[in-house]
Amino acid sequence: MGDVRSAGDLEIDQDLDFQRREWRAQRAGWWAMALVLVLALAGVFGRGPLAHATLESPDGHLRVEYDRFARHGGEADLRIHVAPAAAPDGLARVWLDRAWVEGVNVEDIQPTPQRVIVAGDRMYYEFPVGSTRAASVVRFEFRPDAMLRRELRVGLTDGPTLAATQFIYP
Count of Cβ atoms closer than 10 Å to residue 83 Cβ:
20
Q: Is the pLDDT of residue 2 over 60?
A: no
- What distance in Å separates the CA atoms of residue 62 and residue 154, rounded to the nearest whole number? 9
Structural domains for the chain: 3-42 (no CATH), 52-169 (2.60.40.680)
Cβ contact 45:110 at 8 Å: no
158, with CB counted inside 10 A (0-12, 13-18, 19+), is exposed
Predicted TM-score of the model (pTM): 0.71
Arithmetic mean of pLDDT over the chain? 82
Q: Residue 28's pLDDT is what?
A: 92
Q: Is the pLDDT of residue 135 over 80?
A: no
Q: Residue 52's pLDDT is what?
A: 80
Residue pLDDT, tens place only, 26-41: 999 999 898 888 877 7
